Amino acid sequence: MNAALLRPEHRLIADWIGQGSRVLDLGCGDGAFLAELQRSKGVTGYGIEIDPDNIVACLARGVNVIQANLDEGLTGFDPESFDYVVMTQTVQAMRFPHQLIEDILRIGREGIVTFPNMGHWRCRLQFATGRMPVTRHLPNTWYETPNIHMCTIEDFEELCRAKSFAVVERATVDSQHRAKIGMQLWPNLLAEIAIYRLRAQAR
């Protein structure tokens, strides 16, 4: 596995993760990201996954994988037991996204959350034609999509304010992982993927 095969946002997240940290990857898929972090950053940690084929793929890569349903929460982990808890493109498929993020910030020093931005102009355009958006990042029709809690960047920021999640850093990119100038100016309109570094607000 090499870094070039990782999803774009994974490459960006890898830059944020310190050498030798402890990482929990929620919805770790085939384990490619963790395997790459183990190789390049010497991280330790676990992936959480529910799909049986993905679990076998993780085992084949030598990645520690725990089969669990994220909708049942992360009660098995102690507070601050990880440096980073990463959840890429999964939050929108959760039953209670806000509770899961609270859990993430309980067990991790930092949470890294990415999601497809429903505010992107292509989505808006499809809404304008009277249809639910179907895009490269959201390829499923409304009746078979696992993504039951879609949001825009504005929506997410409002959640962060409401729940006092501290935004350490935000990156907004297109599907090629490019961060063009327009996306900095009008992220909610031009960014396809949003990547957040969060911390629990100091009380």
Residues that bind other proteins (CB under 8 A): 22, 44, 46, 52, 55-56, 58-60, 62, 64-68, 76-78, 81
Dihedrals phi, psi of 197, to nearest 5 degrees: -105, 120
How many other CB atoms are found less than 10 A from the CB of residue 81? 16
- Token pair for 43: 């991280």
* Complex with other proteins: residue 65 or 200, whichever CB lies closer: 65
Q: Are 12 and 195 in contact (CB under 8 A)?
A: yes
* Residue 35 CB, nearest approach to other proteins (Å): 12
* Residue 68 CB, nearest approach to other proteins (Å): 8
Instruction: Encode 136-169: b = buried (16+ Cβ within 10 Å), e = exposed.
Output: ebbeeeeeeeebeebbbbebbbeebeeeebeeee
* Complex with other proteins: residue 17 or 153, whichever CB lies closer: 17
Dihedrals phi, psi of 73, to nearest 5 degrees: 85, 180
Dihedrals phi, psi of 11, to nearest 5 degrees: -65, -40
* Residue 6 CB, nearest approach to other proteins (Å): 21
Going by their DSSP bridges, the two strands 165-173 and 193-200 should be labelled as antiparallel
* Residue 176 CB, nearest approach to other proteins (Å): 33
* Complex with other proteins: residue 77 or 84, whichever CB lies closer: 77
* Complex with other proteins: residue 106 or 163, whichever CB lies closer: 106
* Residue 100 CB, nearest approach to other proteins (Å): 18
Q: What is the DSSP letter of 117?
A: B
* Complex with other proteins: residue 62 or 182, whichever CB lies closer: 62
